[in-house]
């Protein structure tokens, strides 16, 4: 018994978008958003010691590295076509003012010099904050009795904004002297871009750019980073200076302040949960825009893949594509090395 095709009197489609999905070659031809290793910035965590590669438990494939390990790492990153790294330092000792951050012999200045010696064309971005360097784990000077900047009118534990600005300017000059190409203030301290720009210009480093973490939310997605940078706050949290996740209009206000103060690049952090914010910042300001695919985003994909729930390669590249599609000109991502290799294979 022969079956016959079902016929219909409905009109045939005039528009057939599926034609442009027929083959991989056609899909590549009409693809609107493309990823490249040139889009990525790779974070590095640097610690004191020798021959140290300390794996970070909550971030598979990522380790804290001692300075002597950076030459090989830098050459590998550059060979993959990744144009930049961003540095986070873990000092040997911490104190109330995070003095390792503004010491010429501090861990990050050492790291900058080592990378520039090994791979001179690799851009070095210095994350400029104090949470990794202070014994209290907050992003600047804290209001504490007995400390030089104590203000009795403010509550104990409050982040003192203006004294912190002085330290940000001082540390930025030290990092520029070591060879940093870009300073990236990340503490959401009011006036941070102006303080850093003034400090750099005054010391003759007008050519060093400022990439501001202009819109940084007090996010739950930073958890694994606290392991990586050994920087959990010893009391409270950072909600008094990082943004409320519920706010979007405030993001434009924050970014506009940093633009007026001289920021060269604006960053939104985290990335994937804030694609609407990223899109708004990119469309509002005529500046290069970065997004930070944070440790929690990275760890979630790895955890799901380890359980067989997601394909790591596909989900990572899809998430990076979404971030770029939303408006990012560059993406800080722990997937940078893997993604560069995956893209080369496609």
Give per-residue pLDDT as tens, 236-248: 456 677 899 999 9
Cα–Cα nearest to 213, from 242, 184, 256? 184
Q: Give 138 or 198, the one with higher predicted confidence.
A: 198
- In degrees and rounded to multiples of 5, residue 283 shows phi and psi of -80, -20
Cα–Cα nearest to 158, from 254, 222, 239, 246? 239
Q: What is the mean pLDDT of residues 251-271?
A: 98
Q: What is the mean pLDDT of residues 109-132?
A: 95
Output the pLDDT for position 3.
56
With respect to residue 25, please indicate whether it lies within any of the assigned structural domains: no
Digit-coded pLDDT (tens) for 289-321 = 999 999 999 999 999 999 999 999 999 999 999
Band (94; pLDDT cuts 50, 70, 90): confident
- Most confident among 3-7, 117-121, 161-165 (mean pLDDT): 117-121
Torsion sign across C-alpha atoms 288, 181, 225, 34: positive
Full-model pTM: 0.92
With respect to residue 128, please indicate whether it lies within any of the assigned structural domains: yes
Torsion sign across C-alpha atoms 274, 275, 281, 282: positive
- In degrees and rounded to multiples of 5, residue 192 shows phi and psi of -65, -40
Q: What average pLDDT does the structure give for the chain? A: 91
Given 116, 216, 324, 337, the catalytic residue: 216
pLDDT-above-90 percentage for the chain: 75
What is the span of the domain harbouring residue 107?
34-345
Given 94, 116, 269, 337, the catalytic residue: 269
Residues with Cβ < 8 Å from 222, sequence gap 6 or more? 270, 294, 295, 296
> How many residues does this entry show for the chain?
346
Tell whether the model's pLDDT for residue 323 goes beyond 60. Answer: yes
Tell whether the model's pLDDT for residue 35 goes beyond 90. Answer: yes
With respect to residue 2, please indicate whether it lies within any of the assigned structural domains: no
Digit-coded pLDDT (tens) for 146-157 = 777 777 777 777
- Whole-angstrom CA distances from 314 to 31, 318, 319, 340, 342 are 16, 6, 9, 13, 9
With respect to residue 214, please indicate whether it lies within any of the assigned structural domains: yes
What is the count of structural domains for the chain?
1
With respect to residue 235, please indicate whether it lies within any of the assigned structural domains: yes
Active-site residue 253, yes or no?
A: no
With respect to residue 145, please indicate whether it lies within any of the assigned structural domains: yes
Q: What is the mean pLDDT of residues 62-66?
A: 95
> What angle (nearest 5°) sits at the alpha carbon of residue 211, between those of residues 205 and 215?
145
With respect to residue 95, please indicate whether it lies within any of the assigned structural domains: yes
With respect to residue 85, please indicate whether it lies within any of the assigned structural domains: yes
Active-site residue 216, yes or no?
A: yes
Output the pLDDT for position 136.
74
For residue 168, give the CATH number of its domain.
3.20.20.70
């Amino acid at each position: 018994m022969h079956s016959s095709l079902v016929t219909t009197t409905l009109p045939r489609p005039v528009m057939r978008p599926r034609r442009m999905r027929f083959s991989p070659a056609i899909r590549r031809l009409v693809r609107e958003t493309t990823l490249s290793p040139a889009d990525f910035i790779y974070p590095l965590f640097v610690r004191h010691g020798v021959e140290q590669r300390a794996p970070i438990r909550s971030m598979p494939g990522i380790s804290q590295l001692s300075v002597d390990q950076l030459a090989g790492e830098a050459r590998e990153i550059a060979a993959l076509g990744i144009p930049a790294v961003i540095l986070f330092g873990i000092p040997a000792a911490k104190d109330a003012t995070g003095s390792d951050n503004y010491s010429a012999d501090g861990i990050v200045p050492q790291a900058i010099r080592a990378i520039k010696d090994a791979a001179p064309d690799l851009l070095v971005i210095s994350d400029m904050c104090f949470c990794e360097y202070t014994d209290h784990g907050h992003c600047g000077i804290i209001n504490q009795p007995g400390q030089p900047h104590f203000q009795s009118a403010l509550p104990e534990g409050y982040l003192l904004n203006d004294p912190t600005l002085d330290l940000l300017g001082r540390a930025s000059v030290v990092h520029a002297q070591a060879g940093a190409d870009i300073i990236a203030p990340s503490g959401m301290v009011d006036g941070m871009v102006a303080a850093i720009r003034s400090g750099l210009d005054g010391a003759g480093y007008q050519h060093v750019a400022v990439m501001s973490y202009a819109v940084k939310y007090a996010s739950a997605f930073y958890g694994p980073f606290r392991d990586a940078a050994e920087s959990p706050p010893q009391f409270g949290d950072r909600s008094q200076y990082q943004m409320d996740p519920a706010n979007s209009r405030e993001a434009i206000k924050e970014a506009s302040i940093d633009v007026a103060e001289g920021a060269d690049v604006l960053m939104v952090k985290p990335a994937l949960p804030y694609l609407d914010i990223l899109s708004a910042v990119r469309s509002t300001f005529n500046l290069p825009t970065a997004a930070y695919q944070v440790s929690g985003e990275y760890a979630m994909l790895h955890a799901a893949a380890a359980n067989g729930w997601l394909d790591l390669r596909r989900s990572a590249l899809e998430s990076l594509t979404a971030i770029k599609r939303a408006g990012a000109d560059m993406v800080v991502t722990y997937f940078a090395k893997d993604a560069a290799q995956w893209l080369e294979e496609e």
